[in-house]
Amino acid sequence: MIPVAKPYLPSREKLNSYIDGIYDRAWLTNNGQLVQELTRRLEEYLEVENLLLVANGTLALQIAYRALGISGTSNKTEAITTPFTFVATASSLKWEGIDPVFSDIDETTWCLDPSLIEQEITSRTKAIVPVHVFGNACDIEAIDFIAQRHDLKVVYDASHAFGVKYRGKSILRYGDAATLSFHATKLFHTGEGGAIIFKRKEDLERAKKMINFGITGPETIEELGINAKLSELHAAIGLSVLDEIDNNIYARNKVADFYRQQLSNHYQHQVWNNYATQNNAYIPLVLNTEESTIKLVKYFQAMKITVRRYFYPSLSNIPLVLKNNKKTTISDGIASRIVCLPIYSNLPECTLHEIVKHLLLFDEKE
């Protein structure tokens, strides 16, 4: 079976060299040498400051909310976000006592439509949580303007945006915080893991306490904390993957370029922000109808090739995370007709050509 995504597995020799160091030091967690090294190297590679490694991308969002004072209190707290995203964007808010209020997306970029945000703001709104969908930059200036006008925090879910630059600098520099996921199938991964990039040093220092139970010394607890630390073994994987990141990106770019060259005139594609670079984290396309989408998925399943309906369903249709009953028509429509195609660095060329061939054949049947 050809998967839609596949973990990048770095050199065993390189990975073993990092693990040998772990054995020599007998230090597995609690801000060990490799976690510190990975933090420094990621800040350098991504051209950011105030980066904090955590155990996964969901905890990255939750710690960001708490460090920024967004998490819920006795009074109901709300945050405006998109329904066109992975469920963790909304469920992380709910876990922190924050009601996600869904606002609709732009029909071309698939990111939050800034023109619709202000009508959702109430006295309970504390934050906006936009998503750089599939790595595509939101309308950052418009969102930040709204946030400043209404004194709201902005936490960008940048799980898909590793390495993306916006107006010549890292997209992770925008907002009060931006979060990354380092799940196994991401462009860069640590097996499981994530990171938060804070705008302000003081927020980083508070979050550092939070991810270690609030403990600041042998007999001192200064914050309400939780265990969200990244282990040395996960950092070893991350360092090994980072050592080979250029090769990984080059191979993925070749796959993405071939898809675009062959399919650009046959399906609806995401319109990329003119000021943002692409990292080719995903290859999404949209069909004409949901019926066609379901048919396409089954068509490829029969050939043992996975194409995923991602993101589906639109989160505005999930009662567990729903706050408002307002229709998000564009999100619902895109979510019902979208599929993501297989992309990973060692996708066989013959398989890539086979996928495109069948997509073109399927398109002719429509």
Assigned token pair, 210: 């939070």
Omega before 311 within 30 of 0, i.e. cis = yes
Residue 220 vs residues 31, 93, 306: alpha-carbon distances, Å: 17, 29, 51
Is 186 part of the annotated catalytic residue set?
yes
Catalytic-role residue among 186, 199, 229, 323: 186
Question: Which class for 211: exposed (0-12), middle (13-18), buried (19 or more C-beta within 10 A)?
Answer: buried
Kindly give the pairing relationship between strand 98-102 and strand 125-129. unpaired
Sign of the alpha-carbon dihedral angle for 307, 111, 184, 97: negative
CB atoms within 10 A of CB 112: 30
The answer to whether the bond into 182 is cis (omega within 30° of 0) is no
Among 235, 242, 333, which residue's Cα sits nearest to residue 293? 333
Tally the residues of the chain. Answer: 366
Please count the other Cβ atoms lying within 10 Å of the Cβ belonging to residue 362: 17
- The residues assigned a catalytic role are 186
